[in-house]
Amino acid sequence: MTQVTISSKYQVVIPKEVRQQVSLHTGQKLAVIVKEGVITLLPDKPLHSFRGFLKGMPIDRVREKKDRL
């Protein structure tokens, strides 16, 4: 597990190997989510990058609006 240190200005440096694994680049935005004491950083992706990610999903089991809770 990689560790980082919080600076006096509350900044952290994302290690190079982590940046390379998730293809981060300078100026990119990260969404910060805090849940039950855990901080998660998620790369903010443009909406067009999600085009086609549900391709091949079966739609025969999708409920109609009247059947939803």
pLDDT digits (tens, 9 = 90+) for 11-65: 999 999 999 998 898 999 999 999 999 999 998 887 888 888 888 877 777 777 7
The 3-state DSSP class for residue 8 equals coil
Q: What is the pTM of this model?
A: 0.59
Are 43 and 30 in contact by the 8 Å Cβ rule? The answer is yes
- What are the b/e assignments for 38-60, b being 16+ CB within 10 Å? eeeeeeeeeeeeeeeeeeeeeee
